[in-house]
Chain A
């Protein structure tokens, strides 16, 4: 595959966004990647469209929630680094129970991707931010792709993406993936976070009452002491306080890093139980 050649002025050459021309869509070739990037977001925000724009693959896209139920993986190369991109099923939150939502949750929680892109519907920002906040609890390597800006404009919405980035504490890239707008900026933001050039200071969920905060803090420091390598102790604490048995089980068996595997099998075992009744 050849890099597309473009005639550009000197000013363009120095602009980091110019590097987008250096995007190499690698399709299913994911050998020797340097970074893993997860693609998450609410259902029907255009994750698969972004995935296709970056990898050159043709994941089927459709205008309805729940289209992607399995993980799709593809590769791309940008700025001399190779990336593996994982398209996750759409989720409204990370507290949910169905198989498609669990696939997404476990990958972000325990797959520890180098960057997690949260694709956000600009026309439904409030509801979409619920997921951004939850992902930000888990990792500070987040890039928000503020997608469907064309639709937001159609509805007369104005979005101050700088304000949003400042409040969320992570890079925010406005884009219209269907039109291919903002893809270069997204790539640039992803590469900066992946290389550690930009380090997010994500917003942390505030707690309503003081006793809640006390309980969370106490548990978080205990988990942090027992598992110093775990980057998301606070989230694990929240899950334990919520009575999440699977997280407790994983903690017990010391397999927090292993949860990305064997999960689907566990769920089909659940179906089997019915099957044998």
Chain B
């Protein structure tokens, strides 16, 4: 690098300062004005606009509808419901087909193979009953919904709908003392919270950016959609006649997602009134033109890029988790497995908040990836209930052949509708996954704020599920 004489720059800067006094304070405006004038002139010379009255403008007509005060929000909810309804009703069949293949066919085959070549039981158990089954379960539960959900979501994005969502939410974010662009980082969070946290870089003011980072976790990420979808179809969909089940479960999932958005507003508001006080900055949000989505390309890239990448991440975490669960279930201390000890230790707390020890242990195991919550819960429930007829042994993740059987197992584990509702709530409101926590640390560079981002949602989750459980039980007693 060349080194420059240091005296010169100082003189130049001083000279610039005095010139600034001479030319007045409105230099910036004058400069912008002259850039705009020149740009307008050049553009005017190059562009020929169509003559006569403008034709029917489809873009503007759609915009009037989707961003209208009356129809904006109902349309948003309707679109979301349709997307989830398609996801829920479309994922059932391929999910059970995958399960049949990976769990009912491949797993017994591998077991008999290992038995025939005489592999010791504990290696066989660790590899096949722990790691293989955990992974197979994650694939059959996650792949079909993601392969439907992501392309649909990406089509909406490609079409240009997302900025309209941001436009609708902008006013509410500003009322909450946050930046309107937080609507965009929140929408990213619906895919992945770590990505949502990085996306907050579009927010200029550090104060508003911090609010957006701290509240991104309230956007349900795709690691948590499968939990919501499964529990809603089992417990909520089961409350209504079969032909309505898909729709009602979809609405329950949308309800949880909307609750997440409301919590985003409430927490943003609370933060901007207390620890992160300051001015709300204004910005202009551009509504891009609607573009006809390139359907096949979108489906291809969303399956390859999003679905498979997310699935791969889930598998990477499921492998060791499967091993840990199997070991914890098969290593005994004083006659009871480690997992058993943990479950009975956490059970009182779990029951107090309408959950149980199994669910809490599953959430500890799933800190690296929310995707493995349901498989872990199923496996541990088998362990606790001793339902030997459905499971294949302690610490074995398995696929139940039908939803009815899964439901029966949950009920044997003491599950009620309250457990299901609170599990859906807790899945929305708990600590971010470890990847997101690390991303928050990298983006903020602050241990303190990282801790706050990690612990606030858990505390809120405990408080809210506790409250729901108490009110629920009170109502039950009164009825």
Contacts and interface: CB of A to CB of B under 8 A. Distances in A.
B181 interface: yes
Given A63-B157, A130-B36, A223 B448 contact: no
B17 to A, nearest CB: 8
Given A65-B163, A156-B49, A205 B35 contact: yes
Nearest to A158: B48
Interface in B8-65: 8-13, 15-16, 19-20, 22-23, 27-28, 30-40, 42-50, 55
Q: How large is the interface on A (under 10, 10 to 19, 20 to 34, 35 or more residues)?
A: 35 or more
Interface string A27-69: 0000000000000000110000000000000101111111001
Nearest to B159: A63
Given A62-B157, A164-B42, A209 B449 contact: no
Contacts, number: 207
Contact of B30 (A158, A208, A271): A208
B118 interface: no
Given A64-B157, A158-B48, A227-B4, A133 B443 contact: no
A127 B30 CA distance: 17
Contacts of B401: none
Contact of B203 (A43, A98, A123, A222): A98
B27 A241 contact: yes
Interface in B55-96: 55
A160 B48 contact: yes
A243 interface: yes
Contact of B42 (A96, A203, A207): A203
B16 A248 contact: yes
Contacts of B162: 62-64
A241 B4 contact: no
Contact of B38 (A205, A254, A273, A274): A205
A70 B157 contact: no
Interface string B397-438: 000000000000000000000000000000000000000000
A138 to B, nearest CB: 13
Interface string B120-163: 00000000000000000000000000000000001001111011
B446 A66 contact: no
Nearest to B288: A44
B99 interface: no
Given A157-B50, A254-B4, A167 B157 contact: no
B448 A97 contact: no
B152 to A, nearest CB: 14
Contacts of A218: 15, 19
Interface in A109-144: 123, 125-127, 129-130, 132-134
B30 A254 contact: no
B15 A219 contact: yes
Given A222-B15, A242-B31, A251-B13, A126 B202 contact: no
A151 B35 contact: no
B289 A151 contact: yes
Nearest to B210: A274
Contact of A167 (B35, B45, B154, B304): B45
A99 B201 contact: yes
B296 to A, nearest CB: 13
B444 A240 contact: no
B50 A156 contact: yes
A69 B46 contact: no
A168 B42 contact: yes
Given A129-B39, A205-B35, A272-B445, A64 B9 contact: no
Nearest to A243: B20
A126 B40 contact: yes
Interface centre among B55, B181, B445 (most CB of A within 10 A): B445
B27 A242 contact: yes
Contacts of B38: 129, 133, 203, 205-206
Contacts of B5: 226
B444 to A, nearest CB: 5
Contacts of B44: 126
B117 interface: no
Interface centre among A58, A100, A159, A212 (most CB of B within 10 A): A212
A275 interface: yes
B291 interface: yes
Contacts of A70: 198, 201
A269 B445 contact: yes
B22 A211 contact: yes
B1 A257 contact: yes
B286 interface: yes
Given A271-B210, A275-B445, A133 B39 contact: yes
B255 interface: no
A2 B42 CA distance: 43
Interface centre among B12, B30, B305 (most CB of A within 10 A): B12
A61 to B, nearest CB: 8
Interface in A176-214: 178, 203, 205-209, 211-212
A3 interface: no
B348 interface: no
Given A205-B34, A206-B34, A211-B22, A275 B201 contact: no
Interface centre among A63, A158, A222 (most CB of B within 10 A): A63
A126 B39 CA distance: 6
B301 interface: yes
A238 interface: yes
Contact of A223 (B12, B30, B449): B12
Interface in A72-117: 93, 95-100
A268 interface: yes
Interface in B157-177: 157-160, 162-163, 166
Contacts of B28: 95, 242
Given A98-B202, A211-B23, A227-B4, A238 B31 contact: yes
Contacts of B224: none
Enumerate the 6 nearest inter-chain pairs by beta-carbon distance, A residue then B residue, closest first: A275-B446, A156-B50, A98-B204, A129-B39, A126-B43, A240-B16
Given A163-B46, A238-B31, 4 more contacts: A66-B202, A167-B45, A167-B46, A203-B42
